[in-house]
Structure 1
Amino acid sequence: MFLRHLALAAACVALCAGPANSQEMKVGITADFTGATAAVGAPFKLAAEIFPDHVGGVPVKWIVLDDGGNTSTTVKNARKFIDEDKVDIILGSNTIPSTMAMFTPAAQGGTPQIAMVPVDIPSEQRAWLFNLPQSAKIMVGAIVDDMKSRNFKRVAFIGYNDGWGELNWKNFEQLATAAGLQIVAKELYSRTDTSVTAQVLKLLDANPDAVFVGASATPATLPHLTLKDQGFKGQIYHTHGAVSKPFLNAGGKQLEGAILPTGPIVVAAGLPDANPIKKVALDFEAKYTAKYGPGAPSPFAGYAWDAMLLLNAAVPDAAAKAKPGTPEFRAALRDSLASGREVVGTHAVYKFTDQDRYGVDARSRVLVIVKNGAFALYK
């Protein structure tokens, strides 16, 4: 009788404890919520506030920290995630310098990182890294294609004197040259500049048919407004990093006619019903507006949601092999993310492999035009 009761008690303990690998997983999220690039970073936090409490059937704790756009703070946050919180993956940040500053601690700590801005992944650190947003090459390619289709001959560039500006310039120079376009001028400015009149006058002296502004968020409006004030009548293009409500608010009517590449989420309702991204994007929009009221979600919030969807697809395989919170689980999660499965998000149909840590194709981009103070599908 004693042995029978002991066996029943043991069975009860096992059932109450649940599956051996049902331990809570932890996800660290860091971005700029309060600094100069908060227009890009804050939507990550808004999306995180409506994340589910389980992904892939496993309970999850979302640990969200503000890095203020400061790379030193970003590294501190990454160290805290890895050393103290023992997170299973890091999502972030929202600037290239901050994102790249986490590469080394993530790789050294054997912790996967999903970059939330387009970055070049160093080959020596790529094992633990994934780039979620569309690459600059894919997005800039859409701009160059439109320039060529409209028979523009002379084009110019003005962009940030930092990693984001350089990334867009590098791809623009390569793709525009390959397309037979003549780049007649290149100018740079700082995110904190209050005037770019000198740079714009140099652009106008070169007489371009179109100008590409390699910037993001509200500071991207400065060269645009200056070009308009100086009488430029040609086409102005912007990066997908400028697609945001603060950008529209800051630029006002002068932005009418601007063309930008972006993810399908921005114009989800206008997508063909056969496009698999449409349903996912509209579902996220419904959840977002239920929480925050009318108004389409920022595309940057969509990136955060897509990161959650990628985890939701990858976690079951990882959890079948190891417990969250262990090096074995983190390695299994990395391998599952890189398994080659297709995951439909709000921006793309993602497919990461060991050979491809960027994982998106041309389905991840559309061109939008600023029309009546909003973004409308252009082509």
Structure 2
Amino acid sequence: MRFMKAVSTLMLSALCVPLAHAEVKIGVITSSTGPIALVGIPQKNSIALMPKKVGDQNITYISLDDGSDPTASVKAFKKLIDEEKVDAIIGPSGSPNAMGVIQFAAESGTPMLAPVGTAAVVLPMTEQKRWVFKTTQNDDLIADAIVAQMITSGVKTLGFIGTADPYGENWAKVMAELAGKNGIKIVANERFQRQDTSVTGQSLKILMTKPDAVLVAAPGSSSVMPQTTLADQGYKGQMYQTHGAALDPFLKLGGKKVEGTILAASLMLVVDEVPDSHPSKAIAKSYIEAYRKLYNETPATFGANVYDAGLLLEQAIPVAEQTAKPGTPEFRAALRDALEQTRELAGTQGVYNMTAEDHSGFDERGRELISVKDGKWALLK
């Protein structure tokens, strides 16, 4: 009797102990080494600034470096899914890297938040891409602003040079459509590899067509060489860049040869110049200040794309938890659904409004027209 009573007491005591909350595990894949490290380093650094707890749930981030190699991205992605059993994955850094892992996100039912440039990771929407959310502005949103500025400036002919990958190819597609609709003729259409050390041949072909302006569509440091090469060859027309060039090393690497460049990008580059009423200004400044305090340097917008992924998850996790516990397929599915229901969430890059058709969710509040003036970024007025 005494033994049975003791066992009953122990069982009752165990039932009275609050159940421990399972942690939420988030994988992060960045290219913090290799050719696109200028993109990946601020992304990896931003992990330290992301939410560590949501309600009673602790968030653990598992960070892996793919060395800018799409094959390594696949290995890292599978490791996070199969071995770490993560609830969501942020990354990879590069557009080709991200395109190569979408099928594994879908097959495993793991939400993927892609901090990449190309809209091809979410458009056109497919059954696989239902699991992917994008934390950068889609190309058409940025291109609309650039083309509008071209029209205002009287640009009639345009030279285009972009990377020979999903980033450059999608930009070529978007610009062909927009330019055609607005009476701008693309007279040169060139490609190069991110790791190329020369684009002399491509730039000479562009020069031969004598375009009014040239648009470079390339991410990170690869955006610099086409423009500096054209400058060395004497091109005097207006130079445009995409949001892929929105980082301070572009200014340092390009020097005087990138003076006067026009691009459209998030408010982060000119945060002090935008009105205080902008819904993203406060969060952008907070992120910039926290990053500076920790690393003694200003973050690139690429880092903010990862930080915003953390904000999206911070809002979605409590919603998903109402359906299932972290670490389960049901929780991952609920997390995907919660992300898709994001409404008016202000991030560092703009305001997110996700729908079943739009897994990027930006509007005009996610872009500013910016120029390079006296070696610095300046709001184009």
TM-score range (shorter-chain normalised) is over 0.9
Alignment of 1:234 with 2:237, yes or no, is: yes
Shift of 1:8: 7.4
Determine if contact 2:109/2:131 at 8 Å carries over to the other structure: yes
Q: Which residue in 2 is equivalent to 1:125?
A: 128
Asked if the contact 2:49/2:307 (under 8 Å) is kept, the reply is: no
- Cα offset for 1:339? 1.4
Aligned equivalents of 2:180, 2:200: Cα separation in 1? 27
Superimposed CA distance per residue, residues 279-321 of structure 1 (whole angstroms, 9 cap, x where no aligned partner): 111111121112112x432101111110000011111111122
1:215-294 maps to which residues of 2 (within 5 A)? Answer: 215-293=218-296
- Deviation (angstroms), 1:12: 4.6
Between 192-201 and 36-45, report the one with greater CA deviation. 192-201
Question: What are the within-5 Å matches in structure 2 for residues 21-100 of structure 1?
Answer: 22-55=21-54, 57-100=56-99
Give 1:43's aligned amino acid.
P
- What are the superposed Cα offsets for residues 175-229 of structure 1, whole Å, 9 maximum, x if unpaired? 1111111111112222222222222222111111100011122222111111111
Match for residue 210 of structure 2 among 207, 214, 228: 207
Contact 2:304–2:348 at 8 Å: present in 1 too? yes
TM-score (norm 2): 0.93
Name the residue aligned to 2:317. 315
User: In 2, are the aligned partners of 1:159 and 1:169 still within 8 Å (CA)?
Assistant: yes
| Residue-pair matches, total | 373
**Residue equivalent to 1:342:** 344
Instruction: State the AA in 2 paired with 1:9.
Output: S
1:175 is matched with 178
Partner Cα separation in structure 1 for residue 273 and residue 55 of structure 2: 30
* Distance apart, 1:342 and its partner CA: 2.1
Amino acid of the residue matched to residue 315 of structure 1? I
Long gaps (5+) in structure 1: none
Name whichever of 154-163 and 344-353 sits farther off.
Answer: 154-163
Query: 9, 17, 35: which one pairs with 1:13?
Result: 17
Distance 1:156 1:300, change over 3 A: same
Deviations 1:82-107 (A, max 9, x none): 11100000111111111011111110
Question: How far apart, CA to CA, are the structure 1 residues paired with 2:188 and 2:281?
Answer: 39
Q: Does 1:361 align with 2:360?
A: no
Query: Would you say 1:296 and 2:295 are equivalent positions?
Result: no
Instruction: Report the alpha carbon displacement of residue 142 of structure 1 after superposing the two structures with TM.
Output: 1.4
**Structure 2 residue matching 1:270: 3-state secondary structure:** coil
- Whole-angstrom distance in 2 between the partners of 1:6 and 1:34: 54
CA distance in 1 between counterparts of 2:54 and 2:290 reads 17
The one-letter amino acid paired with 2:70 is T
Give yes or no for contact 1:134–1:364 (8 Å, CA) kept in 2.
yes
For 2:371 and 2:190, the matched residues in 1 are separated by 24
| Whole-angstrom CA distance in 2 between matches of 1:56 and 1:370 | 43
> When the two structures are superposed, what TM-score results if normalisation uses the length of structure 1?
0.94
Shift of 1:6: 6.2
- How far the C-alpha of 1:246 sits from its partner, in A, is 2.1
CA contact (8 A) 2:135 2:306 kept: no
5+ residue gaps, structure 2: none
Moved more, 263-272 or 275-284: 263-272
Identity of aligned residues (%): 43
CA RMSD of aligned residues (A): 1.9
- Equivalent position amino acid for 1:283 in 2: S
Q: Which runs of 4+ in 1 moved over 6 A?
A: 2-8
Q: Tell me which amino acid in the other structure corresponds to 1:78.
A: F
Structure-1 separation of matches of 2:129 and 2:194: 29
CA distance in 2, matches of 1:7, 1:69: 53
Residue identity matched to 1:99 = A
Which stretch has the larger CA shift, 367-376 or 101-110? 367-376
Say if 1:235 and 1:180 are closer, same or farther in 2 by CA, change over 3 A. Answer: same
Q: 1:330 to 1:173 in 2, by over 3 A?
A: same
Report the Cα distance in structure 2 between the residues aligned to 1:157 and 1:6, rounded to whole angstroms: 74
**Structure 1 pair 142/57, CA: closer, same or farther in 2 (3 Å)?**
farther
User: SS in structure 1 opposite 2:136?
Assistant: coil
Q: Which residue of 2 aligns with 1:184?
A: 187
Output one character per residue of 1:122-156: Cα deviation in whole Å (capped at 9) or x when no partner: 51312211122101111122111110011111111
Instruction: Write the letter of the residue equivalent to 1:364.
Output: G
1:160 shift after superposition: 1.3
Comparing 194-203 and 130-139, the one that deviates more: 194-203
